């Protein structure tokens, strides 16, 4: 019996006969074999190591799978390479890195289409359908899964038809076509053997989900628990977590909150252990539902907020992909400009080469034809003058082109910073509050009869506060966008400063009363400023809103003015929490994107202060901050004054 046969027999024994409690022993044994094996043997060992870590650490499993893939590309067939690509793609899927998973599955599919292996192609279609299912792309999901079913049926492969039928059942359930979904799940059960524990548990779990949507919760619980029993028996961690969340959700509907909590806590521990963001997200969503059902709205809101953040971390990959495409376009434009410069340099070098060649020919002609010396010298002189002028013109064009490229690069960097800030606001600061608003609105809409007036008022207050903060953000975002595009018209006029400040205080009076903050307007009556009314109103509103936000309960805010030559210096002083010295320089820079949370957890984006700086400077003033941590802050700015005449 040769060495490779012994090795394969060893791997077979460990992969089928050794209980889960000996996995560490298996890993140690495989690692010791790895050191003395041939490349062909190493591939088999690396695959087994990847499978062993599959139940412990997906990151480790991925590392061994990639090592196996690299060796397979060097010495194995295209079929083996495609299988290795599938293994890497599968682990990326469980890590919720769906873009990487799709890339590897598509590479595998292309390779199998060249080979013409229909069975393997059907597998690839099914794999891609599953990934797109988790990305909630129904069109792509149905496209790939239908291809998998049709091809599996064409080659009469029961195993592949079983997988495709199960996944089509999931899609039709998602599309609320429950009869069609149960039809495909029944096909799956018909193809599934009693010993195929993995597929059996998946199918039972999915049938339970259909009954969940049909609101037959007792039936749903029956199927979920059957599936969970198999998963725990076989130690399928990902499936244990997923099914435990489903069981917990059913117990919430059956008002058995203690059992629901037990299953959800168990699910979250496993999800964090295997680092699956998709499952972690589902757990937080379920906990939000649990605490809402129990009437603990504060905890429900907190879990819903965490759910939104985890969900954003998964799905903003598509946004980053779009940004990457924009960066590629930027690099393309940059390269084109570099090519243009090189082209100009090439033309100059060609002219120099032509000049040198002409001079060489001239010497030959001088030696051969002395009689034509004067005429040729004069001719060459004229040509040289013309060439020098041409070179000078080309150099000027080149310098102009370089200056334009430098300016364009600076503008592009500024635009890129602005774009990143805008995407950050759109993808996170707007998405998170809207997720909360939608979540609580949905609860009110569907379950109004379950709440008394006090609970409804509490939920409505949460929705109102979140909506108001989001509206302020949108208002600032709109004004900032208008300032960036140059669509704001600057129309200065004589303004009575104290009246303007009083108007702003009136707008924010409710926010101040809520925190029992006293605001005093000590600006002199006779002061007028020559400014754009809308711009300075926005400045006052943002600065006063910030002062309220960072002042504790029963604090004080004082607004004063000082006459300095041709300007009026206005100070908005608060008794709030103050600002760290190292943070002051971050306040007015869009490239830093600095923001903090208020004394009552009020949120912001830092956009308001950036807008204030732009509008103050448009009105020929300047703005700065003086602050001491724990002792309050003074936001100071100057505006041009005007003398009132009769």
Q: Are residues 504 and 629 in the same domain?
A: yes
Residue 280 confidence (pLDDT): 92
How far apart are alpha carbons 349 and 164 in whole angstroms? 64
For residues 511 and 413, state if they share a domain.
Answer: no
Tokens found for residue 66: 């990639």
Does 109 fall in a domain? no
Q: What is the mean pLDDT of residues 406-416?
A: 66
CB 458 within 8 A of CB 297: yes
Terminal Cα-to-Cα distance of the chain (whole angstroms): 114
> In this structure, is residue 68 part of a structural domain?
no
Indicate the pLDDT class of residue 442, thresholds 50, 70 and 90: confident
The values of phi and psi at residue 527, to 5°, are -85, 130
Query: Which residues lie closer than 8 Å to 192 by C-beta, 6 or more apart?
Result: 162, 199, 200, 203
Q: Phi and psi for 490 in degrees, rounded to 5? A: -85, 115
Question: Do 498 and 591 share a structural domain?
Answer: yes
For 87-131, the pLDDT digits (tens) are 999 999 888 888 999 999 999 999 999 999 899 999 999 999 988
Residue of 214, 208, 213, 207 lying closest to 187 (CA atoms): 207
Residue ranges of alpha helices (H) inside 155-276 are 158-174, 178-191, 197-213, 217-234, 237-253, 257-274
pLDDT tens for 74-85 read: 888 888 999 999
CA-wise closest residue to 143 among 116, 183, 109? 109
Cα(124)–Cα(86) distance, integer angstroms: 8
Q: How far apart are CA 14 and CA 291, in angstroms?
A: 45
Rounded distance, CA 433 to CA 301, Å? 11
Give the pLDDT of residue 573. 95
pLDDT at 603: 56
Better-scored residue on pLDDT, 384 or 476? 384
Q: Give the whole-number percent of the chain exceeding pLDDT 90.
A: 30
Residues 503 and 629 in one domain: yes
> Of 429, 449, 476, which one is at a domain's C-terminal end?
429
Instruction: State pLDDT tens for residues 560-602.
Output: 999 998 999 999 999 999 888 888 877 776 655 556 655 665 6
Digit-coded pLDDT (tens) for 364-380: 776 778 887 788 788 77
Judgement on whether residues 535 and 413 belong to the same structural domain of the protein: no
Q: Judge contact between 171 and 132, C-beta under 8 A.
A: no
425 shares a domain with 496: no
C-alpha span between 538 and 611 (Å, rounded): 8
**What percentage of the chain carries pLDDT values higher than 70?**
77
Residues 298, 303, 304, 306, CA torsion sign: positive
Rounded Cα–Cα distance for residues 145 and 151 (Å) = 10
Residues spanned by the domain of 339: 316-429
Same domain, 630 and 551: yes
Q: What is the pLDDT of residue 13?
A: 31
Residue 32 lies in a domain: no
What span, in angstroms and rounded, lies between the C-alpha atoms of 290 and 258?
A: 10
User: Is there a contact between 315 and 372 (Cβ–Cβ < 8 Å)?
Assistant: no
Mean pLDDT check: name the lowest of 39-48, 107-116, 352-361. 352-361
User: Contact 69/85 with Cβ under 8 angstroms?
Assistant: yes
Burial level of 268, CB count in 10 A (0-12/13-18/19+)?
A: buried
Task: Note whether 360 and 497 are same-domain residues.
Answer: no
State both tokens at 101: 């998973």
CB 592 within 8 A of CB 583: no
Note the pLDDT tens digit of each residue in 253-293: 999 999 999 999 999 999 999 888 889 999 999 999 999 99
Regarding pTM above 0.95, the answer is: no
Q: Categorize the per-residue pLDDT at 621 as very low, low, confident or very high, splitting at 50, 70 and 90.
A: very high
76 inside domain: no
In this structure, what CATH number is given to the domain that contains residue 589? Answer: 3.30.565.10
CA 410 to mean position of chain CA atoms: 26
- Per the domain annotation, does 515 fall within a domain? yes
Q: Can you give the C-alpha Rg of the chain in angstroms?
A: 35
The answer to whether residue 417 scores a pLDDT higher than 70 is: no
Per-residue pLDDT band for 476 (boundaries 50, 70, 90) equals: low
| Nearest residue to 638 (alpha-carbon basis) of 613, 611, 607 | 613
Burial of 315 (0-12, 13-18, 19+ CB in 10 A): middle
Of 375, 398, 429, the position where a domain reaches its end is 429
Q: Is 300 exposed, middle or buried (0-12, 13-18, 19+ CB in 10 A)?
A: buried
pLDDT, tens digit, 9 for 90 and up, residues 478-535: 666 666 666 678 899 999 999 999 999 988 888 899 899 999 999 999 999 999 999 9
Q: How far apart are CA 350 and CA 344, in angstroms?
A: 10
- Lowest mean per-residue pLDDT among 242-251, 453-462, 518-527, 538-547: 453-462
- Residue 126 contacts residue 163 (beta carbons within 8 Å): yes
Q: How far from 46 is each of 14, 30, 70, 513, 581, CA to CA, in Å?
A: 14, 8, 11, 67, 54
The burial class, CB within 10 Å (0-12 / 13-18 / 19+), for 96 is buried
Confidence of residue 51 (pLDDT cuts 50, 70, 90): confident
pLDDT at residue 330 in the model: 37
Lowest mean pLDDT among 31-45, 213-227, 274-288, 450-464: 450-464
Residue 10 has pLDDT above 50, yes or no: no
In this structure, the answer to whether residues 502 and 395 fall within a common structural domain is no
330-352 as b/e: b if 16+ CB within 10 A? eeeeeeebeeeeeeeeeeeeeee
Cα–Cα nearest to 55, from 13, 104, 99, 94: 94
Interval 166-205: pLDDT, tens: 889 888 888 889 888 888 888 888 888 777 788 788 888 8
Q: Is the pLDDT of residue 322 over 70?
A: no
C-alpha pair distances (Å), 566 with each of 347, 501, 616, 638, 642: 58, 20, 15, 10, 8
- Euclidean distance between CA atoms 174 and 130, whole angstroms: 13
At 289, list the tokens: 């539902």
Q: Which of 382, 405, 429 is the last residue of a domain?
A: 429
In this structure, are 524 and 634 located in the same domain?
yes
Q: Which pLDDT belongs to residue 187?
A: 85
Q: Is residue 54 scored above 50 in pLDDT?
A: yes
User: Does some domain include residue 552?
Assistant: yes
Task: Confirm whether 258 is domain-assigned.
Answer: no
**Residue 513 shares a structural domain with residue 620:** yes
Name the pLDDT band for 360 (thresholds 50, 70, 90). Answer: confident
What strands lie across the sheet with 567-574, from one edge to the other?
Answer: 518-521, 556-564, 567-574, 633-640, 623-627
Which residues sit opposite 559 in a β-bridge? 521, 572
Residue 62 belongs to some domain of the structure: no
> Of 518, 574, 312, 322, which is closest to residue 433 (Cα–Cα)?
312
CA atoms within 13 A on the CB side of 417: 11
Q: Does residue 543 share a domain with residue 627?
A: yes
Instruction: Give the CA count within 13 Å in the CB-facing half-sphere of 225.
Output: 10
Q: Residue 138 to residues 121, 170, 179, 297: CA-CA distances in angstroms? A: 21, 11, 18, 33
Q: Which of the two residues, 634 and 588, has the higher pLDDT score?
A: 634
For the CA atoms of 480, 481, 482, 486, the dihedral, rounded to the nearest 10 degrees, stands at 100
Number of domains in the chain: 2
């Amino acid at each position: 019996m040769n060495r490779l046969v012994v090795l394969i027999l060893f791997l077979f024994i460990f992969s089928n006969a050794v209980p889960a409690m000996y996995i560490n022993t298996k890993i140690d044994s495989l690692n010791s074999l790895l050191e003395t094996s041939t490349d062909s043997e190493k591939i088999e060992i690396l695959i087994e190591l990847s499978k062993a870590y599959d139940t412990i650490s997906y990151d480790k499993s991925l590392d061994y799978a990639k090592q196996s893939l690299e060796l397979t590309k060097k010495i194995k067939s295209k079929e083996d390479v495609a299988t290795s690509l599938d293994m890497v793609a599968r682990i990326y899927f469980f890590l919720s890195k769906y873009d990487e998973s799709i890339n590897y599955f598509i590479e595998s599919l292309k390779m199998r289409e060249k080979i013409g292996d229909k069975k393997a192609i059907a597998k690839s279609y099914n794999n891609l359908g599953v990934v797109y299912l988790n990305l909630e792309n129904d069109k792509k999901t149905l496209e790939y899964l239908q291809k998998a079913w049709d091809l599996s049926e064409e080659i009469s492969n029961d195993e592949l038809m079983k997988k495709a039928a199960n996944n089509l059942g999931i899609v039709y359930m998602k599309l609320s076509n429950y009869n069609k979904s149960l039809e495909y799940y029944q096909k799956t059960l018909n193809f599934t053997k009693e010993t195929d524990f993995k597929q059996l548990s998946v199918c039972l779990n999915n049938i339970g989900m259909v009954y969940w949507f049909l609101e037959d919760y007792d039936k749903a619980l029956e199927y979920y628990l059957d599936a969970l029993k198999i998963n725990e028996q076989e130690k399928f961690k990902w499936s244990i977590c997923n099914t435990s969340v489903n069981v917990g959700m059913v117990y919430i509907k059956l008002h058995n909150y203690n059992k629901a909590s037990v299953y959800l806590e168990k699910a979250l521990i496993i999800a964090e252990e295997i680092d699956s963001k998709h499952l972690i997200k589902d757990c937080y969503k379920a906990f939000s539902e649990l605490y809402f059902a129990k009437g603990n709205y504060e905890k429900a809101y907190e879990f819903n907020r965490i759910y939104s953040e985890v969900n954003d971390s998964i799905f903003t990959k598509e946004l980053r992909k779009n940004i990457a495409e924009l960066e590629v376009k930027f690099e393309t434009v940059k390269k084109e400009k570099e090519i243009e410069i090189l082209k100009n340099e090439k033309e100059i070098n060609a002219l120099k080469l032509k000049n040198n060649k002409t001079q060489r020919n001239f010497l030959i002609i001088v030696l051969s034809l002395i009689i034509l010396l004067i005429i040729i010298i004069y001719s060459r002189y004229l040509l040289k003058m013309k060439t020098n002028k041409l070179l000078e013109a080309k150099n000027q064009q080149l310098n102009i082109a370089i200056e334009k490229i430098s300016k364009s690069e600076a503008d592009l960097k500024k635009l890129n910073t602005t774009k990143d800030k805008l995407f950050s606001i759109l993808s996170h600061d707007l998405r998170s509050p809207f997720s909360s608003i939608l979540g609580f609105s949905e609860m009110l809409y569907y379950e109004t009869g379950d709440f008394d007036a006090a609970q409804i008022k509490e939920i409505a207050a949460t929705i109102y506060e979140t909506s108001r903060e989001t509206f302020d953000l949108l208002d600032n975002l709109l004004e900032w966008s208008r300032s960036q595009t140059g669509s704001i018209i600057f129309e200065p006029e004589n303004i009575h400063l104290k009246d303007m400040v009083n108007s702003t205080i009136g707008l924010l009076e409710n926010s101040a009363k809520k925190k029992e903050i006293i605001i005093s307007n000590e600006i002199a009556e006779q002061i007028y400023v020559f400014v754009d009314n809308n711009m300075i109103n926005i400045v006052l509103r943002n600065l006063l809103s910030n002062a309220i936000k960072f002042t504790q309960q029963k604090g004080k805010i004082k607004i004063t003015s000082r006459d300095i030559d041709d300007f009026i210096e206005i100070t908005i002083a608060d008794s709030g929490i103050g600002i760290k010295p190292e943070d002051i320089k971050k306040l007015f820079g869009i490239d830093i994107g600095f923001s903090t949370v208020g004394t009552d957890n009020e949120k912001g984006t830092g956009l308001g202060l950036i807008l204030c700086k732009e509008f103050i400077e448009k009105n020929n003033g300047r703005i700065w901050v003086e602050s001491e941590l724990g002792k309050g802050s003074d936001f100071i700015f100057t505006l041009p004054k005007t003398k009132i005449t009769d």
